[in-house]
Structure 1
């Protein structure tokens, strides 16, 4: 499949591009700035398209079969950008994907998005944006997978995970960004992951097997 990666220049997005280059899929990296295109090519992107989540980016869906939405406003921005990027940008992507008859839409969300009221006040706006975005995706006609990882690290890939609908507690557990990217990619071709939203941490089950049991 030709996979559009939205948020390709982000930390998880870069791992997704590298992972897709080693898979049977082709990667179309969507970035905001032309100067980011060469980096995407170096990472293995087959195509690069310019697109801004704050504007109309429907052109990015031309000749696309599947989407991995890994975009986010980042921790240094305020609630305004969270609404515009993490929520409204995602909703526009769903709309464009439906019109383009996309086969599978994989969304990177966050652990805790299933119950934003239980999250600390300082990140509640972020969790609400993620929760509403997830719910809006579930309400579309799209085949979807929603991946909700715990705290992210830049450690090397472990290759094994634990998944559940919602962890009761996570303690000091985390997950490498590289493994999150692998989960996003593997979800594209794992039938049992379709129509599912699940939380994700590093664990002891090999990624493919874990996804077959979500």
Structure 2
């Protein structure tokens, strides 16, 4: 039986993804800094590991064959946490995955991470961190899927997405629920070819990803 490690399982997308995987009868290891944030989830297929991403969290990978990195420093933190979580923790996660012979690594990245210089905004340090983490994963030798969502919203899941960037910036958005459902769908399939794609609300059913 396969087992998926969800890193950042108490975050909005991470928690949604964890619940979706469990609803599919999948075995999940949820890596969180504070396990009390998952007290509302009771499932025999769930194991919760409480570790700090700024330290050594390699133990959480034991017995897993797939990883979803959904952790993030959050919008209210400074550049220091962006470096430590979005870059350094993601880099360490790829290294730990390599050491544990993980079969597939799903990285939640961001639109703009392909070319941070193309976007002049206060988000640039975040995009640089995501870019470097993505590049490290690409060079790791692991099988990977890098998902780069557009601007995140709290709308309900439409269960329809697109990997084609909309023409207008206002339309380059996606609900967190659509992201989570997309991750859960990808994680439920046998690992495919290495892939990188952007993701937005659209008119393509998630099951076709």
Alpha-carbon spacing, 1:208–1:30, altered in 2? closer, same or farther (3 Å): same
Aligned counterpart, 2:134: 134
| Separation in 2, partners of 1:192, 1:3 | 12
SS of equivalent residue, structure 2 residue 92: helix
Counterparts of residues 147-166 of structure 1 (less than 5 Å):
147-164=147-164
Q: Distance in 1 between matches of 2:28 and 2:200?
A: 26
Q: What does the per-residue CA deviation read over 1:15-62, in whole Å, with 9 as the maximum and x for residues that have no partner?
A: 1011101224211111112423423x3488611011111000000011
Aligned to 2:205: 206
Runs of 4 or more, structure 1, over 2 Å off, are 34-37, 41-45, 167-171, 188-194
Q: Any stretches of 5+ residues in structure 1 without a counterpart?
A: none
Give unmatched runs, 5+ long, in structure 2: none
TM-score scaled to structure 1, two decimals? 0.91
Q: Who is 1:90 aligned against? A: 90
Alignment of structure 1 residues 43-192 onto 2, 5 Å: 46-164=46-164, 167=165, 169-173=167-171, 174-190=173-189
Q: Which residue of 2 aligns with 1:20?
A: 21
CA separation in 1, counterparts of 2:153 and 2:44?
22
Aligned residues: 207
Query: Offset of 1:97 from its aligned partner?
Result: 0.4
Structure-2 residue corresponding to 1:6: 7
Q: 1:29–1:45: 8 Å Cα contact kept in structure 2? A: no
- For 2:174 and 2:45, locate their aligned partners in 1 and report how far apart those are by CA, in whole Å: 24
* TM-score normalised per structure 2: 0.93
